[in-house]
């Protein structure tokens, strides 16, 4: 009997070791990836632009104020400051009893500017990030999407489509689309793989372990290109709509994990959070360009975001600061992302000129209306022209040298330049 039990134990042990072997190897690979990233960051080309100051931060963050989260203000402020974030756009869930946007963080805490906003619903079951927030947030769920957007724009608020995979009112006048969401991406992770990766890789390399599951948001980018191109076609018609911008959202809640024993005041034993703010804020950020003559403020930040003067940086892979995408045509010289320019006559052709600069050697892809227009492997820059080809131009940058899956997941996603 003892021999039989011993055999069973040894068989079970062998099975357990066999199951863990791939994840131990993955832990080794993540460690090597961290070394590559450290080397890449040391090779960055520092680029500056006298016209703009670049600020980095995150959009779509929640605390326990609006429910759905266990994160508090102290944890959030500490995480933002530790990651040197210039801004955090709060999007608290609304309450029928009180104004969560006014009670959340607003103003500068340490080195970070916080802007209180809301995540809202409409009567058409559409969802937006409203920035800044409003005491009317709860009541907007009874108003059709068109009415909500009219109200928000009349009040000079930003309306960003959240969860585009569930959005319905694509013909409405919103300001932008959250094309990449950390929360949505996490829901697509294989639970079995993620659990064992979490055991072996998360403690030492939390952000890289999570980033290894990132996938390019193909459908969201396709939809963005479709809507942006359609808006450009209508620019000189009565049906004209605003140019739209693309964003990455953290949807940070700091509420996934476990603890043994504790109380509701936060005193807990063996408390472990997978999605703590400090880790999530190192993954994907929005980098914003603000006119160098203007001081950094809530108003300047919201204006730049609305005008598309920003790009998505997956900073867990390498520092994206210093990326540039510009165009020139006629009176428009070195027009940045978000610009609306016209083709002009150059030797008989209507032409626009573009330039892309990457902080690292990378694969640069230029899209026009969702289709690949130019591609440059192993490059830090790309210059090209477009003759007789108006359209919506944007850039994706890839770090192929990091290997799969990052040869298919962009490191940088720019906002577009609109060419008429």
Residue 199 CB coordination number (10 Å):
13
Which of 61 and 344 is assigned the larger pLDDT? 61
pTM reported for the whole predicted model: 0.92
Gap between the Cα atoms of 350 and 344, Å rounded: 5
Which of 252 and 159 is assigned the larger pLDDT? 159
pLDDT of residue 53: 97
Every domain of the chain with CATH number 2.60.40.10 lies at 324-419
Confidence of residue 333 (pLDDT cuts 50, 70, 90): confident
> Which helix (H) or strand (E) element contains residue 356?
strand 349-368
Residue environment code for 255-284, b if the CB has 16+ CB neighbours within 10 A, otherwise e: eeeeeeeeeeeeeeeeeebbbbbbbbbbbb
Q: Which residues pair with 159 in a beta bridge?
A: 130
**pLDDT, tens only, 133-182:** 999 999 999 999 999 999 999 999 999 999 999 999 999 999 999 999 99
Strands 112-121 and 87-93: parallel
Token reading at 340? 């609306």
Which of 347 and 295 is assigned the larger pLDDT? 295
pLDDT of residue 218: 97
pLDDT of residue 263: 55
**pLDDT, tens only, 2-30:** 777 777 766 666 666 677 778 888 888 98
> Hunting for tokens 């400090």 — which residue is that?
278
Every domain of the chain with CATH number 3.20.20.140 lies at 47-313
C-alpha separations of 332 from 289, 338, 344, 388, 418 in Å: 17, 13, 10, 17, 12
Gap between the Cα atoms of 141 and 123, Å rounded: 5
Gap between the Cα atoms of 34 and 316, Å rounded: 10
Gap between the Cα atoms of 316 and 334, Å rounded: 29
CATH fold label, 324-419: Immunoglobulin-like (2.60.40)
State the DSSP string of 141-207. Answer: GGS-HHHHHHHHHHTT-EEEE-SGGG---TTS--SEEEEEEHHHHHHTS-HHHHHHHHHHTTTT-HH
Q: Which residues pair with 291 in a beta bridge?
A: 52
Which of 192 and 58 is assigned the larger pLDDT? 58
Gap between the Cα atoms of 381 and 357, Å rounded: 4
- Average the pLDDT over 215-242 and give the result: 90
- Average the pLDDT over 255-261 and give the result: 52
pLDDT of residue 259: 44
pLDDT of residue 260: 46
> Hunting for tokens 């108006």 — which residue is that?
390
Confidence of residue 1 (pLDDT cuts 50, 70, 90): low
Res 217 pLDDT > 90: yes
- Give the CB-side neighbour count of residue 306, counting CA atoms within 13 A: 18
- Average the pLDDT over 359-375 and give the result: 97
Which of 27 and 66 is assigned the larger pLDDT? 27
**pLDDT, tens only, 38-53:** 999 999 988 878 899 9
Please tell me whether residue 406 adopts helix, strand or coil conformation: coil
Please check whether the domain covering 47-313 is classified as CATH 3.30.470.10: no
Residue 214 preceded by cis peptide, ω within 30: no
Gap between the Cα atoms of 330 and 328, Å rounded: 7
Q: Which residues pair with 109 in a beta bridge?
A: 112
Res 274 pLDDT > 80: no
pLDDT of residue 11: 64
Gap between the Cα atoms of 325 and 329, Å rounded: 14
Token reading at 221? 């980018």
Please tell me whether residue 25 adopts helix, strand or coil conformation: helix
């Amino acid at each position: 009997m003892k021999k039989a039990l011993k055999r069973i134990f040894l068989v079970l042990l062998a099975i357990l070791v066999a199951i863990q072997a791939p994840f131990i190897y993955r832990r080794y690979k993540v460690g090597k990836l961290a070394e590559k990233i450290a080397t890449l960051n040391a090779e960055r080309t520092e680029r500056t632009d006298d016209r703009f100051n670049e600020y980095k931060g995150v959009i779509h963050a929640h605390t326990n104020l609006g429910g759905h989260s266990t994160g508090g203000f102290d944890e959030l402020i500490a995480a933002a400051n530790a990651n040197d974030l210039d801004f955090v756009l709060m999007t608290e869930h609304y309450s029928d009893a009180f104004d969560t946007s006014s009670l959340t963080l607003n103003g500068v805490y340490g080195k970070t500017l916080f802007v209180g906003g809301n995540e809202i619903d409409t009567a058409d079951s559409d969802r937006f990030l409203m920035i800044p927030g409003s005491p009317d947030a709860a009541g907007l769920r009874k108003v059709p999407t068109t009415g909500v957007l009219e109200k928000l724009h009349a009040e000079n608020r930003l309306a960003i489509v959240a969860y585009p995979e569930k959005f319905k009112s694509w013909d409405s006048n919103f300001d932008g689309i959250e094309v990449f969401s950390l929360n949505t991406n996490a829901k697509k992770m294989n639970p079995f793989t993620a659990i064992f990766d979490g055991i072996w890789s998360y403690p030492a390399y939390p952000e890289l372990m999570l980033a290894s599951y990132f996938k390019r948001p193909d459908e969201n980018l396709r939809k963005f290109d479709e809507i942006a191109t359609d808006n450009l076609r209508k620019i000189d018609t009565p049906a004209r709509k605003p140019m739209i911008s693309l964003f990455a959202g953290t949807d940070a809640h700091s509420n996934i994990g476990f603890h043994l024993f504790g109380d509701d005041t936060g005193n807990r034993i063996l408390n472990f959070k997978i999605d703590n703010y400090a880790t999530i804020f190192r993954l994907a950020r929005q980098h914003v360009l603000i006119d160098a003559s203007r001081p950094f403020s809530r108003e300047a930040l919201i204006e730049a975001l609305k005008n598309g003067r920003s790009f998505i940086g997956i900073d867990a892979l390498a520092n994206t600061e210093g990326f540039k995408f510009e165009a020139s045509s006629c009176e428009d010289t070195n027009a940045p992302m978000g610009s609306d320019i016209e083709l002009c006559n150059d030797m008989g052709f209507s032409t626009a000129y573009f330039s892309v600069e990457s902080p690292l050697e990378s694969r640069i892809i230029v899209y026009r209306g969702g289709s690949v227009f130019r591609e440059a492997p192993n490059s830090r820059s790309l210059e090209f022209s477009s003759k007789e080809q108006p359209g919506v131009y944007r850039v994706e940058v890839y770090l192929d040298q990091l290997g799969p899956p990052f040869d298919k997941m962009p490191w940088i996603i720019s906002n577009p330049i609109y060419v008429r």
